[in-house]
Structure 1
Amino acid sequence: MRSSSNTSRYGLRTDCWALTISAANTIIKTLPSKQFPPDFIFGAATAAYQIEGAWDADGRGPSIWDHLVHTDPEHITNKDNGDVAANSYYNYKRDIEMLKELGVSHYRFSISWTRILPFGRAHYINQRGIDHYNKFIDELLANDIVPFATIYHWDLPQILQEHGGWLNEEIVDWFADYARIVFENFGDRIKFWMTINEPWVHCYFSYGYAVYAPKIRSPGVGFYECGRNMLLANARAYHIYNDEFRSTQGGKVGIDLNSEYVYPASDSIEDIEAAKDYLAFQFGQYMHPIFSKSGNYPQRLIHRVAAASTAQGYNSSRLRSFDEDQINYIKGTADFLGLNHYFTKYVYRNSSVIGMFDVPSTDDDTFADSYMDESWPSTHAPWIREHGPGLHHLLVHIKDSYDNPEVYIAENGVSTTTGLNDPTRVSYYRSYLRAVLEALADGCNVHGYFAWSLMDNFEWNFGYSHRFGLYEVDFQDPNRTRTPRKSAFVYREIIRSRTIDYEYDPDPYAGGSSVLTSSLLVLAIVVVAGLFS
């Protein structure tokens, strides 16, 4: 239990976020062992463009990522692309075998918009795409794996981008038509839906800073327009499900939001306010309109963008407001929160921030900069350092600020290079799963955890240079052979025992996936023997 209302179990003051991180890192290793609840969900996650391949097979149309990698290959590390990727379109049965080997109960995947609607709109439905996902979903269920589907994971049909993409308000209608089709065709078997994956990341890097497809640079206007349309699109899809499908299908619809956690760099008022602004501009931009009791954007976000817009000579705020009907239409449009979390930062605001950012931009509107503690373990990904307590604090923040909604950790993981021995990933998973246990002990309403990722995949601009997989994929092999890494064995053991055993040290080279399969067979024999003893 907490030692006081303003202090977490790590001795970290949550009222003003004056934090003793070194103490947290020491204490977390000595906490008594705890178990995950019997009904806590363990899963693995992927996304369509990153693993499926078969980019032009069976009537699939081109997405914005197909367009980018084919027209500007130099933009991607090693000129990699997702044309074949892990070839999961054809290897999906092996993927499901891997899920069985791990012992997960749920699989988070995304549906490719362009497989279903090659021309983006509902006037032509590709039956071969429908057939593929029907086979895939049926195979999951036949193996007792619950499908957890994302409707949109960044693979917008290129033809819709040519009409403005997420900067065109009509996309709310386009997305609604697409969502209705997947509900109609798959909702009898899919009971967990997430509408949109990481809207902040997609808008920031795709329509703000021209890093991801479709490479639109508009960090102070397009970024906000993209987000506004995504909130309205999520709401439309939610209401469609609620009005037309919920009574017969009985599923749930959520949204998948990313968030870092942030600590103020000092106990100064400036740094504390900077940390609050940072969370409001990233997480709060989407969380507050949907999950808060009042709805709408956070007031500090509204005020800061309006003030900056006025100072820059705009006649109105670059953050277009919602009217009262829209606020109420968006509020409450998620049955649960999918949360993607990878890292934590320190945030500060002082004179050094002046002139640092583009004007106008969301970064300049926030007017804060960040850094990571170099004492936190580094990883192959320069943007990720391991700091599990940050996830715990984020979950407590969600509980305290948004009436403790139902939460699923929809993505959490770290990249390595090639090789089966991945101690960095093992340490990372243990640290963040420990944080989930602590959040559960603090009363956070966390229902599940999905490891990112089931297998190595096309990691957007980084191509295949960053490997996030529990399973290594041999991209030089036409068969795209998958082999479990050490982290796969460790994750499997956590799922089996529902505890985190820091002493468990499997050898990933002692037989590959056959070891996983053999271990599961031995466990099954023991269970069956117990039934007849």
Structure 2
Amino acid sequence: MVSPPPVEKLQAAEAPLVAKVLGPDFVWGVSTSAYQIEGAVQADGRGASVWDGFCRVAGRIANGDTGDEACDHYHRYAEDIALMQQIGVSAYRFSIAWPRVLPLGRGAANEAGLAFYDRLVDRLLAADIEPWICLYHWDLPQALQEAGGWVNRDVVSWFADYARLVADRLGDRVKRFATFNEPSVFTLFGYSFGWHPPAIDDRRSLYAAVHHVNLAHGAAVDVLRARVAKASIGAIHNVQPSRPVRPTAPDRAAAAMLDDFWNRAFPDPQILGDYPTSIQRGIEPHRQAGDMERIRRPVDWLGINHYSPIYAKADPAAPLGFAWADAPPDVPRSPIGWQVDPAAFRDTLLDAQERYGLPIYVLENGAGAVEKPDAAGEIDDRERIDYLAQYTGALRDAVVLGADVRGYFVWSLLDNFEWGAGYANRFGLVYVDYPTQRRIPKASARWYAALIRSEAMKVAS
């Protein structure tokens, strides 16, 4: 077998391609989320989230994994920030655990939880790494779920109060805020497919949740704008081409419906002022006078998460008339089976620029694998390097063609709890040996560091 080229040659060949066209203010970062890395689920007064209970339902999570310990970032954040410094990123996107700062989701705040984020933010700033806070990455406090969760319109005021708490505590030091991460995932998977909490299959609840999340976004934007001087605010949407798994009329209709729920149901009302036509009727029972104005609040940027195209097939028995489908067997795939299609990423960035007209930050992109250290204790993740090289190249092409892309964040800094896949799938630039919590930078971490250094050299010259 012919050996792949050394990592250093990949770095030299690929890194300058991106650096040629991206300016001095381009943001290179890494992303994580609270439940996926923090652990310490019962430490210092943290309340329960919907994922704590969901992980304990037999068959929900691969290998029966939970986020109880995860990467123990709650105790090891300083070590993880040092890893970010080694890579050379200028920004770190993370989420606040709502139940850590408000154990019941509302009411009395938890000082110990707030103090953790104080320490994290201060350490990041001391390391010259800009904190980017996402208010919600799927870990709804269990107490709020028991009060109806996203189906209860009162959740809008609960979320606004939570946003106010975070803004007042951290807004003197943090200026970059996202309201939600991938709202289409936790609504569609939670209220239709049954893959995420609350794991129900109810069409009316789905539409209610979609609308209330959008209202909560608008309310939080207003809170952040009023309480954080010079705030830079957006939301993070997964935007991926939705394709029919077969070239039939029913599958094309299924793909169009998935596209509306996955790619349009949140950025369209938040930025353009209304829902896609196909879902307006379902939203109508939950809409009140003035709602669309409450949702469409001025934002500063569009956050995009992108990994691969997605596929749909017709399913008359499904509540929405479609089902999720695997990619065709003949397409290039990442080690965990997701399609590799950098041209789709390029076109997604161009389409989003044309549709929404906002500066774009890519806040998640990366490749999953099942991997372990070799005999020398190294992780030589060539396939991830190849993926990142292709996708950063596609980003460069989109910029050349007119997309206003201002930042790129790799998912993820660390291997972590990947929801239904548990710890089986690894997305990190840094390997985590979960029994010992030892961190081992992979070859991709060194590749990314070289990419960032090459950009700095281009700017300096």
Is the alpha carbon distance of 1:319 and 1:488 closer, same or farther for their aligned partners in structure 2, counting shifts above 3 Å?
farther
Distance 1:258 1:288 in 2: 13
* Deviation for aligned residue 1:264: 6.7
8 A Cα contact 1:345 1:373, kept in partner: no
8 A Cα contact 1:221 1:319, kept in partner: no
Alignment equivalent of 1:342, drawn from 298, 302, 307:
307
Is the alpha carbon distance of 1:343 and 1:195 closer, same or farther for their aligned partners in structure 2, counting shifts above 3 Å?
same
Matches within 5 A, 1:381-400: 381-382=336-337, 384-400=338-354
Give the equivalent residue in structure 2 for 1:231: 214
Larger radius of gyration: 1
Give the equivalent residue in structure 2 for 1:301: 279
How many positions carry a matched residue from both structures? 438
Give the equivalent residue in structure 2 for 1:156: 140
Paired residue type of 2:227: F
Q: Secondary structure at the match of 1:498?
A: helix
User: 1:119 aligned to 2:104?
Assistant: yes
Give the equivalent residue in structure 1 for 2:410: 451
Matches within 5 A, 1:259-270: 259-262=239-242
Paired residue type of 2:367: V
Is the alpha carbon distance of 1:268 and 1:467 closer, same or farther for their aligned partners in structure 2, counting shifts above 3 Å?
closer
8 A Cα contact 1:296 1:322, kept in partner: no
Give the equivalent residue in structure 2 for 1:47: 33
Distance 2:245 2:71 in 1: 41
* Deviation for aligned residue 1:140: 0.2
User: 1:253 aligned to 2:233?
Assistant: yes
User: 1:411 aligned to 2:395?
Assistant: no
Distance 2:213 2:312 in 1: 27
8 A Cα contact 2:21 2:399, kept in partner: no
Give the equivalent residue in structure 2 for 1:136: 120
Is the alpha carbon distance of 1:282 and 1:191 closer, same or farther for their aligned partners in structure 2, counting shifts above 3 Å?
same
8 A Cα contact 2:208 2:286, kept in partner: no
Give the equivalent residue in structure 1 for 2:46: 60
Q: Secondary structure at the match of 2:28?
A: strand
Paired residue type of 2:259: L
Distance 1:192 1:469 in 2: 23
Paired residue type of 2:389: R
Distance 2:72 2:206 in 1: 33
Alignment equivalent of 1:110, drawn from 92, 95, 104:
95
* Deviation for aligned residue 1:66: 1.1
8 A Cα contact 2:343 2:394, kept in partner: yes
8 A Cα contact 2:336 2:370, kept in partner: no
Q: Secondary structure at the match of 2:44?
A: coil
| TM-score under structure 2 length normalisation | 0.89
Give the equivalent residue in structure 1 for 2:129: 145
Distance 1:268 1:358 in 2: 18
Paired residue type of 1:491: Y
- Percent sequence identity over aligned pairs: 36
Paired residue type of 2:364: E
Distance 2:102 2:30 in 1: 26
- Structure showing greater relative contact order (alpha-carbon pairs closer than 8 Å, 6 or more residues apart): 2
Is the alpha carbon distance of 1:492 and 1:115 closer, same or farther for their aligned partners in structure 2, counting shifts above 3 Å?
same
* Deviation for aligned residue 1:212: 1.4
Give the equivalent residue in structure 2 for 1:379: 334
- Over the residues paired in the alignment, what is the CA RMSD in angstroms? 2.5
Q: Secondary structure at the match of 2:420?
A: helix
* Deviation for aligned residue 1:358: 3.2
Paired residue type of 2:234: G
Is the alpha carbon distance of 1:346 and 1:80 closer, same or farther for their aligned partners in structure 2, counting shifts above 3 Å?
closer
Give the equivalent residue in structure 2 for 1:441: 400
**Per-residue CA shift, 1:21-73, capped at 9, x if unaligned?**
xxxxxxxx9x9774422211110000001101111001111111112223x24
Distance 1:275 1:337 in 2: 23
Distance 2:143 2:244 in 1: 43
Paired residue type of 1:91: R
Paired residue type of 1:169: R
User: 1:475 aligned to 2:434?
Assistant: yes
* Deviation for aligned residue 1:213: 2.2
Matches within 5 A, 1:21-100: 34-70=20-56, 72-100=57-85
8 A Cα contact 2:415 2:431, kept in partner: yes
8 A Cα contact 1:106 1:145, kept in partner: yes
* Deviation for aligned residue 1:401: 1.7
Runs of 4+ in 1 over 6 A off after TM superposition: 264-274
Distance 1:476 1:266 in 2: 44
* Deviation for aligned residue 1:464: 0.5
8 A Cα contact 2:189 2:196, kept in partner: yes
8 A Cα contact 1:262 1:390, kept in partner: no
Q: Secondary structure at the match of 2:25?
A: coil
**Per-residue CA shift, 1:67-89, capped at 9, x if unaligned?**
2223x244211111111111000
* Deviation for aligned residue 1:379: 2.2
Distance 2:189 2:249 in 1: 30
8 A Cα contact 1:65 1:155, kept in partner: yes
Is the alpha carbon distance of 1:318 and 1:138 closer, same or farther for their aligned partners in structure 2, counting shifts above 3 Å?
closer
* Deviation for aligned residue 1:409: 0.7
Is the alpha carbon distance of 1:460 and 1:319 closer, same or farther for their aligned partners in structure 2, counting shifts above 3 Å?
farther
